[in-house]
Amino acid sequence: MRLSAPFRLRSCRTLMASAAWLGAMWLGIASPGTAWPGTASVAGAAEEEVEEETFVVIKAGRVIPLCGPELPRGEIVLVNGKIRLVGNDLDYPKTARVIDARGEVVMPGMILPRTRWQLANYSRSGVHGDRSVEQELYLDQIDFEPMLAAGFTGACFYPAGTGIPGVAAVYRTAGQQQHRELGKAYVRITMTSPGRDKKVLRGAIDKAKKEIEKVEKARKEWEEKQKKAKEEEAKKEEAKKESDEKEKQDSEKNTGPGADPGAEQDPPEKKEQDDKNKAEPKQPEKFTPPKIDPAVQPLVDWIRDKKGPALLFELTQASDLVHLDDVLKQASELPATGFYLSASYSSDYDRVVEDLGRRKAVVLLSPRIGRLPYTVVRYNLPGELAAAGCTVVLLPLADGDSQYQDLRTQLADLVRAGLSRDDALKAVTLHAARVLGIDDRLGTVEKGKQADLVFLDGDPLAPATEVTRVMSVGEIVWEASKQP
Amino acid sequence: MRRRSAVFIFAAALLTAGPSAGRAEDSKPKQPEARYFAVTKATVHTVTGPVIHGPTVLCKDGKIAAIGHDVAIPDDAEVLDAEGFHLYPGLVAVRSSGLVGNEPPEDNTNVYSLSMTLGLAGGVTTAVANDTAAKLSFGTLEDHVVKRNLFAAISYTTRDPNGRRTFRQALEQARRFLRDLQAHEEKKKTDPAAKPPDAASLKGLNQTALKLLRHEVIGVADADTAQELKDLAELAERYDFRLVVRGAREGWVSAAAMARAGLYAVITPRTRRDRDERSNHPNGSSIENARILHEHGVPFAIVPGSTSISTSGLAGRDLWQLAMEAAFAVRGGLPDDAAVRAITIDAARVLGIEHRVGSIEVGKDADFAIVDGDLLHYMTLVRWTVVNGRVAYDKQKDSLLEHIRPGGDRDAPPPPDYWPRRLGEG
């Protein structure tokens, strides 16, 4: 059956369970003369639901998958924009479109984890956990060209302001409209000026706690109501039983030798009625929790340790972390773990590096080699954070064409100053995807992930290296050679 | 001593072990374990008591739990061997700026600031910002604030006769109101239907005056001249309220009046003001100011001329030189111990926090300045500063003064744990 339908492949994963098996199958069926239509017509009604599979093969000079060792002369097989195989000398259908990138290095597309590129200068203060940057963003009005030219396939836009200005959202920098939105990323909470922000956050936490109490109270009331109803029902039933028994006894008495036969017709009707009565309260009344103020919903979720968008706390100096913990300890025993460290060259984060490492924090920051405060001693903050155990996410110093272009060079500087190459590359790809909650789809060149890739003409950290092509969901969306 | 401390520790152990051994375990959230810290072998200057050579000062949860030679140290205690060093109570700066944050300090203090570190390097552990006394709790906000609403500022200068009269009237009105209130209380005993004092008399009443008379707040006034000091003393004596005078440059002239009225003073011994020759009254600054005030029994705190701390270099009269400012008063005849008191317990008394800080006593906060010599000696440097039972400053771990060797002793080896740590090390 399988051999009889070699032109079409089900999208079943079972088929793809083992790469070796798959290879063997390709060898077996890719006999000369057999065509591999990329877009085959529907063969039969029974296979209507089967998705058509478009194969693309990238033959790269080198693949940097970031989930394993680098592959010289690596190949990537894509099916419908998804990565299916990564390796050397892979087998693939002859009809697959081959992208010849033998002179290029292919790595996961870079992701910009925090930007307001070309957004209007609009900010808000206070608690707005329900607001999203999506409300102020129009994709077609943003020029993504500088990001693409620098190798960014994704960008996360954040809402500006102080306090809890809202939720950030991730977008692809190019590609088809239906693929552009990658979802909500993180809730931005500032602790950049504790004198101001502590008050706001304290208020928000109090509100969130009250909302939780409200729900719990309502639930308790509901439970009690339910209990009472049950008890009453039980009582009713008992009473009914008694009365039934009585009736039975009565009827037994009545169904004596001189009983009226017509009297027997009544009970079934009654029974039906009884059944109805029984059935009604049996349907459990569903508990509908009272509405929670959406502005504090992210905090409520965090306090309940429920999954929701991550909280990203912004700090400007080491002391802010102490102030943040001071506020958060009223809400949860769990420490904050997501941070954006806005920094000058002489910030004093060295004081809290160990603390951040201990809590395995995810830290967004710019790739700066600053100096220890009041000294000229150079301090590689990203390197120290990574060494301490943090997940480091790096972003350009500022928004702009040249800053985007400079990022890779700055990464190289950090690597020279002690950050590992792997950490540096992951900091702009996988770790960025992780902080944005899209690492299940993006961030590495790995089976099952979407093919957002960047092609470079050399080592990504080498200063002379340029981006040659950018791929989004399996399609080349930007090419250096086609730029004016 | 041994038995007492042993009993104490046993009692403490019982206290901490109590809930977990009992039934209350599940209902109560688990108590965090006690945090022990001990300083051993230092020469302890208790300030309010004797100097003790080489005792163990055991602290539990930021408070001094026991002092003695045979105090048992719990296994999990952090122990600081301070052999050859002198342990003083942490210094109290009754005026400061920049060491702790503005009101409210717990929301504004930069707990890693250079100013704070410099203050700690000067031995200061408690500082006043605006109207709040706060600890220089480096790296933490735990037990940061000591006392809020320290003072009620009053103005009573010779330059503003109208203001003086208004304030006197306010005090008078407040006193009358309090008397009426008292009379009413008396009356109520015999006649339950007695009317309380007229509400009209409460209207427009100066709340500050009322609080002062009720001893709910300490007044504070800036006064330097003998006349102003005398006037304030007279006022405080007449209306019987607690008052701190800041400045008190000519306190040596009005010391008797100030002592009689129970005034507190905040003085700066290095203040200089030439005598005004046009006046035939004694005036101007005197190096003997501190001594004369001390001899008359006026408690005073000492602050330097600048109440901030210089972050651009160490020279001048700022809070890093608080001990030197006190030492200057010794030159004017003030006894050594009184000079130390003026920056520890007496300073705490001025702020009304003497039950918490200012001396080494069981039950008080574990705030220490551990120095390498006599606190008032010019060669002395702070080696460790302890705040709430935590080492907040360590000269050899902070790059600020790590390399400083007093007296040109350049051969002294650098400490093994040189900071900062660099990539690839350790």
Output the domain CATH number for residue A91.
2.30.40.10
Question: Is A166 within 8 Å of A133 (Cβ atoms)?
Answer: yes
My answer on whether A484 and A363 are in the same domain is: no
Give me the long-range contacts of B160-169 (CB less than 8 A, separation at least 24): B164/B231, B167/B206, B167/B209, B168/B235
Question: Is A421 within 8 Å of A404 (Cβ atoms)?
Answer: no
Please tell me whether residue A81 adopts helix, strand or coil conformation. Answer: coil
pLDDT score, position A277:
52
pLDDT score, position A289:
84
Between CA A388 and CA A151 the distance in angstroms is 29
Please tell me whether residue A142 adopts helix, strand or coil conformation. Answer: coil
Residue A390, domain member (yes or no): yes
Structure confidence at residue A249 as a pLDDT band (50, 70, 90): confident
Please tell me whether residue B253 adopts helix, strand or coil conformation. Answer: helix
Between CA B167 and CA A152 the distance in angstroms is 70
Given CB atoms, is B108 within the 8 Å cutoff of chain A? Answer: yes
Given CB atoms, is A455 within the 8 Å cutoff of chain B? Answer: no
Closest to B121 (Cα-Cα) out of B405, B342, B381: B381
> How many beta-carbon pairs below 8 A join chains A and B?
46
Please state, in angstroms and as integers, the Cα–Cα distance from residue A113 to each residue in A130, A381, A395, A408, B196, following that order.
20, 18, 7, 15, 69
Between CA B338 and CA B359 the distance in angstroms is 13
pLDDT score, position A483:
87
Given CB atoms, is B279 within the 8 Å cutoff of chain A? Answer: no
Angle at A365 between CA A359 and CA A369, to 5 degrees: 105
Q: Which pair of structure tokens corresponds to residue B237? A: 């004596």
pLDDT score of A372 more than 90: no
Q: Per residue in A269-324, pLDDT tens?
A: 555 555 555 555 555 667 888 899 999 999 999 988 887 789 999 999 999 999 99
DSSP B242: -
Mean of the per-residue pLDDT values of chain A:
85
Residue A245, domain member (yes or no): no
Q: Which of A322, A380, A417 sits opposite B111 (nearest CB)?
A: A322
Helices then strands, counting H and E runs in chain A, come out as 12, 20
Name the minimum distance, in Å, from the CA of B309 to any CA of chain A. Answer: 15
pLDDT score of A13 more than 70: no
pLDDT score, position B392:
96
* Side chain identity, residue A143: D
What are φ and ψ of residue A259, in 5° steps? -80, 155
Residue A398 is part of a domain; what is its CATH number?
3.20.20.140
Q: Is the dihedral of CA A234, A239, A241, A244 positive or negative?
A: negative
My answer on whether A59 and A178 are in the same domain is: no
Angle at A317 between CA A312 and CA A322, to 5 degrees: 75
Run of H or E including A270? helix A266-282
Given CB atoms, is A316 within the 8 Å cutoff of chain B? Answer: no
Per the omega criterion (within 30 degrees of 0), is the bond before B420 cis?
Answer: yes
Contacts of A348 in chain B (CB under 8 A): 112
Closest to B88 (Cα-Cα) out of B37, B42, B41: B42
Angle at B323 between CA B321 and CA B324, to 5 degrees: 65
For the segment A374-401, the average pLDDT, to the nearest whole number, is 93
Q: Tell me if B423 and A387 make a contact (CB, 8 A cut-off).
A: yes
Run of H or E including B115? helix B114-121
Q: Is the pTM of this model over 0.90?
A: no
Average pLDDT of each block of 10 consecutive residues along chain B (426 residues)? 44 41 46 89 96 96 96 95 96 94 92 93 94 95 94 91 92 90 88 74 76 93 95 95 95 96 96 91 93 97 90 77 93 94 97 96 97 91 96 89 74 53 48
Whether ipTM tops 0.90, in short, is no
Please state, in angstroms and as integers, the Cα–Cα distance from residue B274 to each residue in B271, B277, B278, following that order.
10, 9, 12
Residue A371, domain member (yes or no): yes
* Portion 75-104 of B in contact with A at CB < 8 A: 101-102
Structure confidence at residue A29 as a pLDDT band (50, 70, 90): very low
My answer on whether A61 and A146 are in the same domain is: no
Question: Is B356 within 8 Å of B97 (Cβ atoms)?
Answer: no
My answer on whether A87 and A127 are in the same domain is: no
Share of chain A above pLDDT 90, in %: 67
Please state, in angstroms and as integers, the Cα–Cα distance from residue A55 to each residue in A100, A107, A435, B83, following that order.
14, 19, 31, 77
Interface-testing mutation among A193, A315, A319, with chain B (most B C-beta atoms within 10 A): A319
Question: Is B320 within 8 Å of B122 (Cβ atoms)?
Answer: yes
Owner of token pair 């920056």 = B343
Closest to B310 (Cα-Cα) out of B95, B111, B117: B117
My answer on whether A102 and A120 are in the same domain is: no
pLDDT score, position A3:
38
Given CB atoms, is B158 within the 8 Å cutoff of chain A? Answer: no
User: Strands (DSSP E) along A357-421, which ranges?
Assistant: 362-365, 370-371, 378-379, 391-394
pLDDT score of A153 more than 80: yes
My answer on whether A183 and A119 are in the same domain is: yes
Name the minimum distance, in Å, from the CA of B315 to any CA of chain A. Answer: 17
Q: Which of B101, B109, B399 sits opposite A375 (nearest CB)?
A: B399
Please tell me whether residue A394 adopts helix, strand or coil conformation. Answer: strand
Closest to A351 (Cα-Cα) out of A378, A395, A384, A328: A384
Least confident of A364-368, A478-482, B15-19, B340-344: B15-19
Name the minimum distance, in Å, from the CA of B380 to any CA of chain A. Answer: 24
DSSP for B362-420 reads TTSB--EEEESS-TTSTT--EEEEEETTEEEEETTTSTTTTT--GGG-TTSPPPSS-SS
Number of domains in chain A: 2
My answer on whether A26 and A44 are in the same domain is: yes
Residue A362, domain member (yes or no): yes
Q: Which domains does chain B have, with CATH numbers?
A: 151-161+203-351 (3.20.20.140)
pLDDT score, position B241:
95
Please state, in angstroms and as integers, the Cα–Cα distance from residue A148 to each residue in A143, A145, A153, A276, following that order.
10, 5, 6, 67
For the segment A107-136, the average pLDDT, to the nearest whole number, is 94
Sequence-ordered alpha helix ranges (H) in B192-250 = 199-202, 207-213, 226-239
pLDDT score, position B420:
44
Interface-testing mutation among A320, A322, A324, with chain B (most B C-beta atoms within 10 A): A322
Question: Is A345 within 8 Å of A380 (Cβ atoms)?
Answer: no
pLDDT score, position B424:
53
pLDDT score of A66 more than 90: yes
Residue A204, domain member (yes or no): yes
Residue A263, domain member (yes or no): no
Run of H or E including A156? strand A152-157
Contacts of A195 in chain B (CB under 8 A): 101-102, 107-108
Contacts of B393 in chain A (CB under 8 A): none
Given CB atoms, is B13 within the 8 Å cutoff of chain A? Answer: no
Per the omega criterion (within 30 degrees of 0), is the bond before B104 cis?
Answer: yes
Run of H or E including A110? strand A110-115
Residue A241, domain member (yes or no): no
Please state, in angstroms and as integers, the Cα–Cα distance from residue A393 to each residue in A112, A113, A155, A420, A434, following that order.
9, 8, 13, 13, 9
pLDDT score of A39 more than 50: no
My answer on whether A420 and A449 are in the same domain is: no
Given CB atoms, is B399 within the 8 Å cutoff of chain A? Answer: yes
Q: Tell me if A383 and B107 make a contact (CB, 8 A cut-off).
A: no
My answer on whether A349 and A408 are in the same domain is: yes
My answer on whether A90 and A203 are in the same domain is: no
DSSP for A85-106 reads EEESS----TTSEEEEEEEEEE
Question: Is A73 within 8 Å of A86 (Cβ atoms)?
Answer: no
DSSP for A46-67 reads GGTTPPP--EEEEEEEEE--SS
pLDDT score, position A427:
97
Interface-testing mutation among A198, A326, A327, with chain B (most B C-beta atoms within 10 A): A326
Residue A16, domain member (yes or no): yes
- Residue A37 belongs to domain spanning: 1-108+444-484
Name the minimum distance, in Å, from the CA of A193 to any CA of chain B. Answer: 8
My answer on whether A218 and A126 are in the same domain is: yes
pLDDT score of A346 more than 60: yes
Run of H or E including A201? helix A194-254
Tell how strand B368-371 and strand A152-157 pair up: unpaired
My answer on whether A458 and A344 are in the same domain is: no
- Taking CA–CA distances from B100, the nearest residue in chain A reads A319
